[in-house]
């Protein structure tokens, strides 16, 4: 082994102290206010060294929470495999300092048992995820989406049993409508496995979890809330102020399409830039800080395609409060 490649975490990784961590609902868990999502930039379309550098920078700066899913890649499973290699190469000595989540719920393998919310799928998928990630357990296992057909009780009992078997310490709910979330809360809590956290898309231009009462419900019940795509996949940064740059997510992946850049959106982005300038911040910093300022939000689950982006984004934990109506 090349000795230079051995990773030792920074001794200053917890220097931000209280500014960095928030209690997740009414649980015993503290999560970093900015967490790292591995949906993109951790598949086999990215070099290992680049993915590696991003995770090193994150952990060296106190980001202890990494979020995955069975189907992150490309191809499906690749992000967990890359993360498993990182665990083996770098993070094994730090396992107890990390809070690692994965999910199942979207299409993962062919046939009737590789999708949605059956007990069969969830058990098999989590076992696969653990193998790919070189882990004995995950800290948090999510049901990734609402399945309108499988009885909710089947999905929820699978989550309870997964915790009882020690394969996950906590369970979370992602993208369920409010009424189903209420059923989940009652079912899981009655079995002493209360949902730790809800994962939903909340950002300056998509406030659905607030509008639908999900964030308020979580707050009332002591469930944490983590926002995915808090930068709207990069829209709420300076990335698209002057067109679509080569290499950006909009230029290369199907998840962020050019039709989002309407004249209204461009003028909104200009306004965001003015507000960010007046606060002495970058647009991404302001956009993330706005999400963190919303009542009931535990953490933002941000993505990054470079260390520089993460360095920029992490400053959001120190942002000033917002004056009403600023954005």
Ligand X SMILES: NC(=O)c1ccc[n+]([C@@H]2O[C@H](COP(=O)([O-])OP(=O)(O)OC[C@H]3O[C@@H](n4cnc5c(N)ncnc54)[C@H](OP(=O)(O)O)[C@@H]3O)[C@@H](O)[C@H]2O)c1
> Which positions lie near ligand X, rule CB under 6 A?
37-41, 67, 144, 174-175, 199, 228-234, 237, 239, 248-249, 284, 301-305, 309, 312-313
Tell me the angle at which helices 283-293 and 263-279 cross, rounded to the nearest 10 degrees.
90
- 143, two tokens: 């049901």
Residue closer to ligand X (CB basis): 165 or 234 = 234
* Closest CB 11 distance from ligand X, rounded Å: 26
Residue sitting closest to ligand X (CB):
37
Which is it for the CA torsion 253, 99, 139, 93, positive or negative?
positive
User: How far apart are alpha carbons 216 and 44 in whole angstroms?
Assistant: 39
* Closest CB 4 distance from ligand X, rounded Å: 27
Residue closer to ligand X (CB basis): 64 or 233 = 233
Residue closer to ligand X (CB basis): 191 or 307 = 307
User: How far apart are alpha carbons 176 and 116 in whole angstroms?
Assistant: 12
- The half-sphere exposure of 86 on its side-chain side, counting CA atoms within 13 A, is 27
In the chain, beta strands by DSSP E = 21-23, 30-32, 34-37, 65-67, 99-104, 138-143, 168-174, 197-201, 224-228, 299-302
Contact 102, 129 (CB under 8 A): yes
* Closest CB 291 distance from ligand X, rounded Å: 10
* Closest CB 192 distance from ligand X, rounded Å: 25
User: How far apart are alpha carbons 71 and 129 in whole angstroms?
Assistant: 10
Query: Which candidate, 159, 224, 145, places its Cα nearest to that of 188?
Result: 159
Using a 10 angstrom Cβ sphere, with 0-12 exposed, 13-18 middle and 19 or more buried, the burial of residue 143 is buried
Residue closer to ligand X (CB basis): 118 or 284 = 284
Q: How many Å is the Cα radius of gyration of the chain?
A: 19
* Closest CB 305 distance from ligand X, rounded Å: 4
Residue closer to ligand X (CB basis): 48 or 165 = 48
* Closest CB 6 distance from ligand X, rounded Å: 27
Contact 169, 197 (CB under 8 A): no
* Closest CB 60 distance from ligand X, rounded Å: 18
Residue closer to ligand X (CB basis): 194 or 234 = 234
Residue closer to ligand X (CB basis): 85 or 315 = 315
**β 197-201/21-23 pair status:** unpaired
User: How far apart are alpha carbons 80 and 130 in whole angstroms?
Assistant: 9
* Closest CB 178 distance from ligand X, rounded Å: 16
Residue closer to ligand X (CB basis): 41 or 129 = 41
């Amino acid at each position: 082994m090349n000795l230079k490649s051995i990773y030792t975490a920074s001794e200053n990784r917890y220097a931000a102290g209280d500014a960095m961590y928030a209690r997740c609902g009414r649980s015993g868990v503290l999560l970093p206010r900015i967490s790292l999502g591995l949906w993109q930039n951790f598949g086999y379309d990215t070099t290992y060294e680049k993915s590696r550098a991003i995770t090193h920078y994150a952990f060296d700066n106190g980001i202890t929470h990494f979020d995955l899913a069975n189907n992150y890649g490309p191809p499906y499973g690749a992000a967990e495999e890359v993360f498993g290699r990182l665990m083996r190469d770098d993070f094994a000595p730090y396992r107890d300092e990390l809070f690692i989540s994965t999910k199942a719920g979207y299409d993962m393998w062919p046939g009737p048992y590789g999708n949605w919310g059956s007990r069969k799928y969830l058990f098999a998928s989590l076992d696969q995820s653990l193998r790919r990630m070189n882990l004995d357990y995950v800290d948090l296992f999510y049901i990734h989406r609402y399945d309108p057909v499988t009885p909710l009780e089947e999905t929820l009992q699978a989550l309870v049993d997964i915790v009882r078997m020690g394969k996950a310490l906590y369970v979370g709910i992602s993208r369920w409508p409010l009424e189903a979330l209420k059923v989940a809360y009652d079912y899981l809590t009655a079995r002493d496995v209360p949902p730790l956290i809800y994962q939903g898309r909340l950002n300056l231009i998509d406030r659905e979890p607030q509008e639908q009462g999900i964030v308020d419900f979580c707050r009332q019940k002591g469930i944490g809330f983590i926002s995915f795509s808090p930068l709207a996949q990069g829209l709420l940064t300076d990335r698209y102020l002057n067109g679509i740059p080569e290499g950006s997510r909009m230029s290369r992946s199907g998840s962020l399409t050019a039709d989002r850049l309407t004249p209204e959106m461009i003028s909104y982005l200009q306004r965001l830039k003015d507000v960010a300038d007046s606060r002495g911040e970058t647009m991404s910093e302001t956009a993330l800080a706005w999400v963190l300022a919303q009542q009931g939000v535990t953490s933002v689950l941000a993505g990054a395609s470079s260390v520089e982006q993460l360095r920029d984004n992490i400053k959001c934990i120190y942002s000033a409060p917002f004056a009403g109506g600023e954005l």
